[in-house]
């Protein structure tokens, strides 16, 4: 049973890594930069 949980976790992790790589390759540098700044500028948007 532990093996199936481990394999499932690894599949989920693989999916997340593939998703990040896919978004990185498909998006322009400006889009990635703007997305990365969202947490940094979150406090400024509330004002």
Percent of the chain with pLDDT over 70: 94
Q: Tokens in use for 26?
A: 């498909």
Round to the nearest angstrom and report the end-to-end CA distance of the chain.
Answer: 51
Mean pLDDT of 35-40: 82
Mean pLDDT of 13-31: 91
Mean pLDDT of 7-26: 95
pTM for the model: 0.60
- Provide DSSP, the chain: -HHHHHHHHHHHHHHHHHHHHHHHHHS-HHHHHHHHHTTTTHHHHT-
- Is the confidence at residue 15, as pLDDT, over 60? yes
- Is the confidence at residue 46, as pLDDT, over 70? no
Mean pLDDT of 3-29: 94
């Amino acid at each position: 049973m532990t093996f199936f949980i481990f394999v499932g976790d690894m599949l989920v992790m693989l999916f997340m890594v593939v998703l990040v790589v896919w978004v990185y390759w498909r998006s322009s540098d400006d889009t990635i930069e703007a997305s990365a700044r969202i947490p940094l500028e979150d406090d400024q948007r509330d004002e």
